Amino acid sequence: MLDTVPFLQIPENLPPEKHRDFAILTMVGILGFSAHVVFLVCFLIFGVYSMAYFNVASCFLFAVVFMANRQIDSNSATLLTVAIGEIILHAIFAVVIIGWDSNFHYYLFLAMMTSFLANNFSKKSYVSNIIAFISYIGLYFYTSNFAPIQEISETGMFTFGIMNLISAGVMVVTITAYFNYVASESAKKFMASNTELSQQAEELTTQSEKLSKANKHTMDSIKYALRIQEAMLPSSKELSQILGNENYMVFYSPKDIISGDFFWCKETNNKKIIVVGDCTGHGVPGAMLTMIGESLLNGIVEKGITQPSLILDALQTYFSTLFISRDDVRDGMDISICTIDNKQNRLSFAGAKNPLIYIQNNEIKIIKGNRMSIGQTFTRKFMPRDFTNHQIDIRVPTTFYMYSDGYQDQFGGENNTKFYSKNLRKLLLEVSEQPMKKQRLILKRTLFKWRNLRNQTDDVIVFGFKIDPNKSIEKTKSLEEQILESEYENNEISDEVIQKQLEIDQMINKK
């Protein structure tokens, strides 16, 4: 005779990994036996004798499951399979005999939950749940096309419907609660048997709390740094005053909370200067460099320097001296600068690695920057000292794009490859005729779709602006323009909304 264990008590010599199965089978045995006894009486009262006979066999089966689970060396996997199989068969027979409104199909969900709890999302649980799900769908279509085998009174149908709804809910709660209770008791015994591990766990908890507080303090500091960085970037009001309400767009997406990419815009001496920079790294180090770069730009332009190549030369001079005493620092930035001279109908451009794309007459052109970054003094032995200044005629409508390498270097797609510059140029050409605010939305959606829920790998900035000599810049927005533009504002369509939409699209495609 095999040894048995006391009622509801976990065996002392039962391995911890088997406590879960013991708990679930215990509750399944008790609840299964009790429920079938109750429904046996109900079936007899309402004259459903075929199900009454079925319940007699089910009562015996769950009693065997409960008693067999008491045995120290019982096969819990087999017992669980028998119990889940009975639940599924009982639900099928009951729905076919007396109808869908009896709510016996709810027990199929109970079988699913029991399988997942016991098998911990293993192959067995998926097989059991597939069978239960197929049974549910099959019963639904069967009852939609065929009448129940046996008709019972409205009182009987109502009674079964309410009882099954309550019974299934109580079973789910009870099994889950006992499962949690057994897990808790097992954890207590394990901790009690090993005082040293318990002390270590307390120390780890204390350290975790300290780390959590330190992390919160760090995150609060970074969020405050974000406010400082945002304050230094040109506001939408400033950009509108310089470029016009409908003549620009900025797609600015930091990888982390704060960014190593930045944009800068200033109007001085009847010239408009636009800058897009990509500093070394991202996050806090990159953000610190952006603030240095923006401060230097303000100082350079205030001295009356507006030609892009001269601004880059001045930046190179200032930046190269920052870390002159440190041979191990190679920080700097890739940057592109445009100066608009409306009187001369020309735009000047110079770049440190970063290019400029412009579109005229539906034809895309690219001007590459010099192959030298700002601050990389170790390359000056091999690269020309001065940056090249390029002139572009803007007597015809022209759309310009300045950007960092974050967009084109973003990994994604079916093969998890980079987006690449050729695809970015193609995309910019396709959207160039759209309103600037809508272009930003298209760029944002395209990048999210390309990433396909993957993490962003770098800071991203794309700055676009349009010059049309035939149109004057409007300084104020009409009410209609504000309503139209609100569709494309940053806060109206957030990253979370687009990501959720992609998740929904994936679910639809899988179906």
Query: Tens digits of per-residue pLDDT, 21-51?
Result: 777 778 788 888 888 888 888 888 888 888 8
- Provide the strand spans (E) within 310-353: 333-341, 346-352
**Taking 70 as the threshold, does the pLDDT of residue 195 lie above it?**
no
**What pLDDT sits at residue 441?**
92
The pLDDT of residue 390 is 95
The predicted structure's pLDDT at residue 498: 58
- What's the confidence (pLDDT) of residue 488? 45
Among all chains, which residue has been given the structure tokens 């996050």? 283
pLDDT tens for each residue of 381-407: 444 568 999 999 999 999 999 999 889
Whole-angstrom Cα distance, residue 74 to residue 80?
11
Q: Shortest CA distance to 222 belongs to which of 294, 289, 285? A: 285
Alpha carbons 137 and 489: distance in angstroms, whole number? 44
Q: Which of 367, 362, 355, 366 is nearest to 429 (CA)?
A: 362
pLDDT recorded at residue 357: 94
Q: How far is CA 412 from CA 421, 453, 503, in A?
A: 14, 9, 15
Residues 19, 117: Cα–Cα separation, whole Å: 12
**pLDDT per position as a tens digit, 109-144:** 777 777 766 665 566 667 877 888 888 888 888 888
Closest CA to 402 of 231, 278, 260, 282: 278
Q: Which residue has the higher pLDDT, 70 or 196?
A: 70
Question: pLDDT tens digits, residue range 310-321?
Answer: 999 988 888 777
- Dist CA 443 CA 399 (whole Å): 15
Are 407 and 280 in contact, with CB atoms under 8 Å apart?
Answer: no
Radius of gyration of the chain, Cα coordinates, nearest whole angstrom: 35
> One-letter amino acid identity for 136?
Y
pLDDT over threshold 70, residue 475? no
Calculate the alpha carbon distances from 55 to 88, 100, 159, 165 in Å.
13, 19, 17, 18
Report field, pTM of the whole predicted structure over 0.85:
no
